[in-house]
Structure 1
């Protein structure tokens, strides 16, 4: 091929690429028309939780596409609705005003956007003052009755006093509908967050410390409610998770006196609490712990923390060791069996010198004739002790290797032996020689 032909071929190739590139360019449609809206200010006396109606007259000399209404709290878009506008005329719709917790009264912005088929648009905005409705009453709803809650005189606060049938009063709360824009607002218990939430009717676990006549109070802005059962550990109020469980993350010092209020007849875990004649002291090493009070079981569960997270076994042997498996549970292995269920794992008490212990009583917190649990590095599946990293110095309990009657790492009772009913046994895992050279010691007390 001579040079002229090469140059001609290259020129033709470049031209073809240029034409192809041009043909792929997106050409925006030419905006045409003149969309207009006519809206009267219909937005007075608006409350949180309202369904706000509107009417808009729209017009254009080209086909219209959509009408969108957007509500803003400050710069945040909190609600939106879109209407298809096929032709000129009047359209009606509505937009929801969120209720929300701790939102102060203020002025919202309501924006209307009208768009025609050529993407030409018109906008119009309104300032909308929004306040929390001054309800004349709320309604406390129990399984058997309803009670009116009246304003206390404090902002957004309502109360009812009555000789309720029990100190425990599971109930939810609802509002009346105050005008044609309003709707019924429900307040119930959010178990995931451990507090009152809007939009659900799950019973709130109200509970009074004493029977007879008492008051139930609720604030429609802060969602603060009372009364609730109170559990206090070392002067600190524990947080309610649900009606049965209270929890507190707290720094505890080895040997310090423990005070506990709100739960009587509770079971003192000997791995964490030593009972004396007139006081109770903390057993494990000093550190941060998560204490959970379970009311039905009268049980204080204690779990080691690193910062705000559940502790895990560290490479240097510090942290925590957890128990998952069968035939063990506190305060009773029958009433609160651990099983192969990681959320129910038991935290062994870190007693110092990189040693961890769990104390059990035959026939009460552990089965006497068979055990089948193992030790883990965390409160979940993952790192665990097997027969290569854990040896037993006990003449009662052995470590499984997969061929001796137990899976690798699972504990078992040596054939021909049993634990003794009523006897106390302390299982200690010593990792002072390294986490891959752990030793299990079982002592009968």
Structure 2
């Protein structure tokens, strides 16, 4: 019983202390007041503005002073100060530099609040102007190129540039309270406040102009890469892709790649005659990936939004994973990286082919790759469901120098260096009864 009496007494004590606190600072008590001692009369976008405000109350403790900046009705910047004592408080508030905001008048709002949640506000109109930068800098790696002012908000630099220029733009601090402003790449647009490089590109290397508008953020040049009049999507600086429905025998139009004549063209998918390209695989949906660093196209069969797989009826796709083969050259060998698996071209009648030149896309005397049902581990062809009658390339069985299903070159034999070979997997007799032929062209 004594324990419960003590607990009750302690609870009463806590409640009493709580009541004293509520009594000391009741909601609605006090009368906070502001004295704007130092407040800017005008500013530029991108400024950091200093202010000094005196705060007091009639015996009630203060809580916070908020300084807020509004563009129209939008809160764009805020600075909060804890006001533990009466007196003067100083600070800075940033004036954001944003696209497509014309010169105009913003609103500075000062909000003082005490511990009783009572507030007082004062506002001041703040005329804002966009800085008239004398120049900008285009920063590309360790190089800085001065962009001269053309007119209005337009700046440009003309130099001997490579086809692709990876850099960001920097505006110098402007005026007494200005800050350096960086313009970089975010998503697929130029954005202030970042140094992520902007992927400028031209149709060819040489003397050309890079431009930027500090009001609209319009920038140039950007080359648009298109296949069949549809723009490719950028993955990174060297990789662009597109998913297309393609028809066998139809002409493929490639636009925007200035040095396309130097690219390696995969004859399994594209027949090249001068500057004309014709699609060679069966009609269907394909992902085409342009690899600018290696100058070739990866073509892969699709099923909806997924990579195609080999269906039970023999339609779909067959993939190559393993050593001794790679496109556009052996320097880009597939290996056992499933992400680099090669999609054999579906040529109809449930047949799939890959064409390679010995010594260039396939090793002449040492191969160790196999055929899979998907662009990943899973279904695969082994010696119990894949056979060949060839006298140079054989199918491994686990005891003949290769794992089951892995291809090898017969001992003492070799593919002829420089000769073209066509590997065809035929599953028209059933997925469990596949035939491999290797033909020298």
TM-score bracket relative to the smaller structure: 0.7 to 0.9
CA RMSD of aligned residues (A): 4.3
C-alpha change, 1:183 and 1:255, in structure 2 (3 Å) is same
Alpha-carbon deviation of 1:281? 0.6
Match of 2:52 in 1: 55
Determine whether 1:444 maps to 2:439. yes
Match of 2:213 in 1: 219
Q: Structure 2 length as normaliser, TM-score?
A: 0.74
Alpha-carbon deviation of 1:388? 9.1
Q: Deviations over 1:310-366 (max 9, x none)?
A: 5242756655444343322111012x2233334433333333455443222221112
C-alpha change, 1:299 and 1:210, in structure 2 (3 Å) is closer
Q: Deviations over 1:362-414 (max 9, x none)?
A: 211122233333445555x4544254995344545556677765556654445
Match of 1:7 in 2: none
Pick from 237, 247, 252: which aligns with 2:246?
A: 252
Q: How many equivalent residue pairs? A: 416
Q: Deviations over 1:188-208 (max 9, x none)?
A: 456xx4664544445545455
Match of 2:147 in 1: 148
Match of 1:358 in 2: 354
Q: 1:137–1:151: 8 Å Cα contact kept in structure 2?
A: no
Q: 2:320–2:369: 8 Å Cα contact kept in structure 1?
A: yes
Q: 1:323–1:375: 8 Å Cα contact kept in structure 2?
A: yes
The worse-fitting range, judged by mean Cα deviation, of 213-222 and 175-184 is: 213-222
For 1:242 and 1:56, how far apart are their aligned partners in 2?
Answer: 49
Determine whether 1:421 maps to 2:417. yes
For 2:212 and 2:371, how far apart are their aligned partners in 1?
Answer: 46
For 2:395 and 2:126, how far apart are their aligned partners in 1?
Answer: 71
Q: Deviations over 1:131-161 (max 9, x none)?
A: 65443432234545532321345xx432233
Alpha-carbon deviation of 1:120? 4.7
Alpha-carbon deviation of 1:130? 6.1
Specify the SS of the correspondent of 1:444.
strand
Alignment of 1:36-47 (within 5 A): 36-39=33-36, 42=40, 44-47=42-45
For 1:82 and 1:367, how far apart are their aligned partners in 2?
Answer: 68
Alignment of 1:60-79 (within 5 A): 60=57, 61-69=59-67, 79=77
Which residues of structure 1 form unaligned runs of 5+? 1-15
Q: 2:135–2:146: 8 Å Cα contact kept in structure 1?
A: no
For 1:43 and 1:392, how far apart are their aligned partners in 2?
Answer: 86
For 1:319 and 1:111, how far apart are their aligned partners in 2?
Answer: 65
C-alpha change, 1:34 and 1:188, in structure 2 (3 Å) is same
Which residues of structure 2 form unaligned runs of 5+? 1-7
C-alpha change, 1:66 and 1:243, in structure 2 (3 Å) is same
Structure with the larger strand share:
2
Match of 2:281 in 1: 284
C-alpha change, 1:46 and 1:304, in structure 2 (3 Å) is farther
For 2:103 and 2:317, how far apart are their aligned partners in 1?
Answer: 49
Q: 1:397–1:442: 8 Å Cα contact kept in structure 2?
A: no
Determine whether 1:233 maps to 2:230. no
Alignment of 1:313-352 (within 5 A): 313=309, 320-334=317-331, 336-352=332-348
Alpha-carbon deviation of 1:226? 2.5
Specify the SS of the correspondent of 2:92.
strand
Pick from 368, 379, 382: which aligns with 1:372?
A: 368
For 1:359 and 1:118, how far apart are their aligned partners in 2?
Answer: 81
Q: 1:108–1:129: 8 Å Cα contact kept in structure 2?
A: yes
Q: Deviations over 1:400-429 (max 9, x none)?
A: 677765556654445555433223333344
Specify the SS of the correspondent of 1:327.
strand
Q: Structure 1 length as normaliser, TM-score?
A: 0.73
Alignment of 1:387-426 (within 5 A): 387=382, 391-393=386-388, 395=390, 397=393, 405-406=401-402, 410-413=406-409, 417-426=413-422
Specify the SS of the correspondent of 2:80.
strand
C-alpha change, 1:70 and 1:289, in structure 2 (3 Å) is farther
For 1:69 and 1:358, how far apart are their aligned partners in 2?
Answer: 68
Match of 1:84 in 2: 82
Q: 1:50–1:97: 8 Å Cα contact kept in structure 2?
A: yes
Q: 2:162–2:204: 8 Å Cα contact kept in structure 1?
A: no
Match of 1:5 in 2: none
The worse-fitting range, judged by mean Cα deviation, of 364-373 and 98-107 is: 98-107
For 2:127 and 2:427, how far apart are their aligned partners in 1?
Answer: 65
C-alpha change, 1:321 and 1:195, in structure 2 (3 Å) is farther
Q: 1:53–1:93: 8 Å Cα contact kept in structure 2?
A: yes
